[in-house]
Structure 1
């Protein structure tokens, strides 16, 4: 999957049938689906990284940074839930990932390293490319960043960071996630400039092993940061600050549970959902069944429930339920959770329910932050030797200080999604502009549609969206 050179083209000639902006999971799965469909088409994937299929999530190289779902839950083939399990079985049998025996479970229950998952995605793309080539379809990787985009009824034109441009019949925003730790903000607190990257083990290895590390945020990024610190040889105290002080639950393998939402279509609002979900969890516990069993049945209904909820109901969910939903639904892989629990029980890792209020001047080479503990009015100064921003994903495109989101907003080609989560689109991914018009040539999938479906970041969600969008683009083409 080597990158290709790109050159200016005449305005009247299209460089591609489909231009995909972003070559992480979303863009790669869309390209693969387009290649699998009958017909001939040219696809260009514009991605600044040297490889397709990895993006932010799957560029990790440390074996300790694993998926937070087991293999049975992470197939990129929407028609075969066992696709990753089958691929992983062959990969391990061929000598790959010898450390897998540490988990001592069947292959379907393994939590693969994210770097290995990236290899799986790349192989599926390579297979789709071979199939497409037999039909005259191609996909090429343009290694560049898209800094501007224009779209009208006739097509789309991208401007790249080297000043060159590409034109196509359709453009798709497959930009993936903007991790807060790696994303410039329009209103910066200076946190990222002072903080270590949560996944940069080499930078953490340069710390004094006994250094006091402060972490902002207690979700899955924090879990990754703790794994990074452990692999870097850190042995000092870790102080974690988050508004509610909640840790991700550990992901287990619960038994099947009745799909209570399918059985009762009267459940429509977030309040009704939470009331019934609590009841189902109590029933499960009374029967000696893991409470995660009923919770896992909700996953298939989230998009429908979220899309039919009113704006007030969505705000209520985000304000009052979201922290507990995130910590219970987006759960930690077992080995990572065991590490966090072990450090917490040993007193090396402490969790504080407190909000980050800004950086403070440090002394003697140390740094300091100001926090406000939950339930207190006054703020407190906390000093440490290193700082990590683990506050998760930035979904509000108005706050992302990168050229393309800024230009799209300035041109009025997009508008913020519900509750300013991602961008607005119709049910099939066609982008809605600032005037409320549905684009004919500009589409989106994956994390940019967070506000439309709430859960639009999981592998299975992205895979399903990619298949549906590919079919729509081919039908329109």
Structure 2
């Protein structure tokens, strides 16, 4: 966008990944004339970190029926994908002999879907004179006054709007500068960089820190790069994501019993239902999947002590059971494990060690051991997931917002604190009237605030809140 840009807007959206794009879509669909600027350094809106992947093997970890960006139509992605495949898109989909609603699309194709929904919303908005414009830059500072939000970009431009929304998305640990860096990222390969992985000796040993979904992506990347050597995976608990299946419906026991409030009560009742399901020959994932709709309520009403107990004692198992792996990726991991090429170790990463030649060495402490040890491989991949603590994110805007006291860390330092309607809380606990947040930055408020359905619902509610604010 040129320097002659009109810098005034009704709404400034900081971040043009899925969160920012879905908010723009909802704003375009609402009556009224407004100008929206989306500040995003990438060349395209709608992709962000999650959906910029180009490899077909990097798929969604939810099937099409679970990933609609339209909160009013759960079949929206299925309908779009049906037409996309019929028109010749994604010919490889026939490798999965299941209904389209049960397909796990590549993330790059999902990005196309989000972009098309934005394009359609732009046509709707044009009828009212509403526009959404992409400002290709990074927001580096923000301040507010009684009437306006002022935003500074990395190229020196300044924008202003009546409202601003922090839709910054996720900060993958592998790609995010840290305020207290161990040097891990500088020594590690990007989990999604297949081209660089092709330069490795295909028989060499690769070390991976972290055993969640990012690790699964890294293993897929190595396979597509032609790597055939050993893969050593290290994580604190040594837990792998379970494979996502399509279980039958199960009674929504949380909707029937609102006396279940604490993490302990939830886990006890969930285990009972899973045992009942198994006894009936039903997949244990069926009861677990009913919990998803209630997580926000349960987390929000829990005390700080209960939240801390959950994060400390339950989180690793919750993550491995709830954030499950797409079937094809899980099959690859299982095959490599069975062949002995992939090993999983419960161990804590303690830092990098000096190494010679083209190798990399890391210090670990295996679970149960007192002494640490050193492990060496030809390459290292950081698959430790997402960095939610904004105090550790060495990006200009998070640092400035915290330094100015415009935001404060969320519960348990997960994202930032906000009111139920997304209005951020400043360092004194006061709700902003012109600064809002949505999506991953609100992880501490709702625990699950990253899934497509979470983002879509938040986008709709926040758009209505912002439009209401325009009339005040």
Range of TM-score over shorter length: over 0.9
Q: Check if 1:5 corresponds to 2:37.
A: no
Q: Is the 8 A contact 1:8 1:166 kept in 2?
A: no
Quick one: distance in 1 between partners of 2:363 and 2:230? 18
Tell me if structure 2 keeps the 8 A contact 1:356–1:371.
yes
Task: Give the one of 447, 453, 459 matched to 1:454.
Answer: 447
RMSD, matched Cα: 0.7
Q: CA shift at 1:103, angstroms?
A: 1.1
Give 2:238's match in structure 1, choosing from 245, 255, 268. 245
The answer as to whether partners of 1:5 and 1:142 remain within 8 angstroms in 2 is no
- 1:16–1:44: 8 Å Cα contact kept in structure 2? yes
Match of 2:200 in 1: 207
Alignment partner, residue 90 of structure 1: 83
Which residue number in structure 2 is paired with residue 333 of structure 1? 326
Q: CA deviation at 1:155?
A: 1.6
2:66 matched residue in structure 1: 73
Q: Does 1:313 align with 2:310?
A: no
Q: Aligned residue for 2:463?
A: 470
Tell me, in whole angstroms, the C-alpha distance in 2 between the residues paired with 1:133 and 1:6: 24
Aligned-pair CA distance for 1:429? 0.2
Q: Which residue does 2:348 correspond to in 1? A: 355
List per-residue Cα deviations over 1:373-401 (Å, max 9, x = no partner). 00111101000000000000000000000
Task: Name the TM-score, length of structure 2 as normaliser.
Answer: 0.99
Residue of structure 2 in register with 1:141 after alignment: 134
Map of 1:270 onto structure 2: 263
Count of residue pairs brought into register by the alignment: 470
Structure 2 unaligned residues grouped into runs of 5+: none
SS at match of 1:135: coil
Give the match for residue 437 of structure 2: 444
Is 1:296 the counterpart of 2:251? The answer is: no
Q: Does 1:101 align with 2:94?
A: yes
Partner of 2:217: 224
> 1:367 deviation in Å?
1.0
- Stretches of structure 1 lacking an aligned partner (at least 5 in a row): none
Of the candidates 18, 21, 28, which is equivalent to residue 28 of structure 1?
21
Equivalent position SS for 1:100? helix
With 45-54 and 144-153 compared, the bigger mean Cα shift is at 144-153
Structure 2 residue aligned with 1:198: 191
Return structure 1 stretches of 4+ with deviation > 2 angstroms: 4-9
Contact 1:21/1:175 (CA < 8 Å) preserved in 2? yes
Matched, 1:433 2:399: no
Is 1:421 aligned with 2:414?
yes
Q: Secondary structure at the match of 1:303?
A: helix
Q: In the TM superposition, what is the alpha-carbon distance from 1:153 to its structure 2 partner? A: 2.4
List aligned pairs for 1:148-163, cutoff 5 A: 148-163=141-156
Q: Quote the offset at 1:6 in angstroms.
A: 4.1
Contact between 1:17 and 1:41, CA under 8 Å: does it hold in 2? yes
CA distance in 1, matches of 2:435, 2:395: 19
TM-score (ref. length: structure 1): 0.98
